[in-house]
């Protein structure tokens, strides 16, 4: 196999419980031609000491440590510090399969691809569970338009900077926005737009994505900043698609509706009157009607509104906020019950 040099980039802030398993999963790769750059973003726990201990044992590991500046600045700095022809992000509380680099490089070489994407296996505690590697590596091949479409349709692992192997040129002129909660979703579609050749999406999950950490950004109470950044991302993405991918205009509008329902769900479930009655929430409610009425009739019949379904759309279009909130409460309660079962 043609040995491409890969930079694996791990930003870290206060993950002493997880960083060791993360590093071990990286060092356990069947593909060894990589550097591992660990960035300590001003951790106040024992994370830095753990990283330095591993660096003393393996000369592929480089540790950067500085004051806390946030995840976006960390990702941008790691990209600039990397030397690889290919780049992969791994979050410091996650783990990866030992086959991920080998199989991604193989799939990219076979299909002349600039990007490889793995589905994520969502876990609620760190795991070293491995996939069963097959001699018949399975993946789908997508061009730029298809990837931009999948970003709207599938979401989830498409939106994360992790679980992907990028040809480094895709990251040229790309910066994660600073001081934004949704810095990842606000950036990935711009990277996808830089594609000149194919992307591959592996069939099996090679990435273990930890959910439910009490101190993670995604589990914090929905705040005014969440609302502001959510609204900013919602509109920025839609404007980008309408300007740069007009052939996907209907898909972008349907994606806007889906994400608008998600924003309203979080806003209403916050039980914060200032958020619920904010100008942003009123504007999103109004935009739902405007955008829905601008979609062609064929697209309206497609099931792309997601888990909130047509009943929510009906309530919103008919200004029935109370009924809409009741439906969202039921969905949220059902979601929590399902998580409890797992």
Alpha helices for the chain (secondary structure H): 19-27, 47-57, 71-81, 100-111, 144-153, 185-193, 224-244, 249-269, 273-276, 279-293, 297-300, 309-317, 321-341
Beta-strand relationship, 164-167 and 95-96: unpaired
The percentage of the chain sitting over the pLDDT mark of 90, rounded to a whole number, equals 66
Average pLDDT over residues 298-323: 56
Global confidence as pTM: 0.86
For the chain, the C-alpha Rg in angstroms (whole number) is: 21
Cβ(235)–Cβ(287) below 8 Å? no
For 241-257, how does the pLDDT look when each residue is reduced to its tens digit (9 = 90+)? 999 999 999 889 888 98
For 97-131, how does the pLDDT look when each residue is reduced to its tens digit (9 = 90+)? 999 999 999 999 999 999 999 999 888 887 766 77
Closest CA to 293 of 319, 260, 257, 239: 257
Report the pLDDT value the prediction gives residue 315, as an integer from 0 to 100: 59
Domains and CATH numbers, the chain: 6-210 (3.90.550.10), 221-341 (no CATH)
Least confident range from 5-9, 204-208, 212-216: namely 212-216
């Amino acid at each position: 196999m043609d040995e491409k040099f890969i930079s694996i980039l791990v930003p870290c802030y206060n993950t002493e419980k997880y960083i060791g398993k993360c590093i071990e999963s990286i060092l356990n790769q069947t593909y060894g031609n990589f550097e591992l750059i660990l960035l300590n973003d001003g951790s106040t726990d024992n994370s830095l000491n753990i990283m330095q201990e591993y660096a003393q044992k393996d000369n592929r590991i480089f540790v950067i440590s500085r004051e806390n500046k946030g995840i976006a600045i960390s990702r941008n700095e790691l990209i600039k510090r990397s030397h690889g022809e290919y780049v992969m992000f791994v979050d410091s509380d996650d783990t990866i399969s030992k086959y991920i680099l080998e199989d991604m490089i193989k799939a990219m070489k076979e299909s002349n691809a600039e990007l490889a994407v793995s589905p994520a296996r969502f876990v609620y505690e760190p795991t070293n569970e491995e996939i069963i590697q097959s001699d018949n590596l399975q993946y789908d091949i997508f061009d730029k338009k298809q990837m931009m479409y999948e970003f709207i349709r599938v979401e989830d692992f498409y939106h994360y900077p992790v679980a992907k192997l990028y040809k480094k040129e895709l990251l040229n002129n790309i910066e994660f926005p600073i001081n934004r909660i949704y810095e990842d979703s606000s950036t990935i579609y711009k990277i996808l737009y830089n594609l000149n050749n194919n992307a591959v999406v592996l069939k099996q999950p090679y990435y273990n994505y930890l959910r439910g950490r009490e101190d993670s950004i995604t589990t914090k109470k929905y705040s005014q900043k969440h609302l502001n950044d959510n609204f900013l991302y919602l509109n920025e993405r839609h404007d980008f698609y309408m300007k740069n991918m007009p052939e996907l205009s209907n898909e972008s509008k349907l994606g806007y509706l889906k994400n608008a329902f998600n924003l309203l769900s979080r806003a209403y479930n916050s039980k914060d009157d200032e958020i619920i009655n904010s100008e942003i929430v009123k504007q999103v409610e109004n935009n739902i009607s405007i955008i829905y009425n601008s979609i062609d009739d064929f697209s309206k019949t497609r099931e792309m509104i997601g888990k909130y379904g047509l009943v929510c759309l009906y309530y919103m279009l008919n200004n029935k906020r109370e009924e809409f909130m009741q439906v969202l409460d039921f969905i949220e309660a059902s979601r929590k019950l399902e998580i409890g079962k797992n």
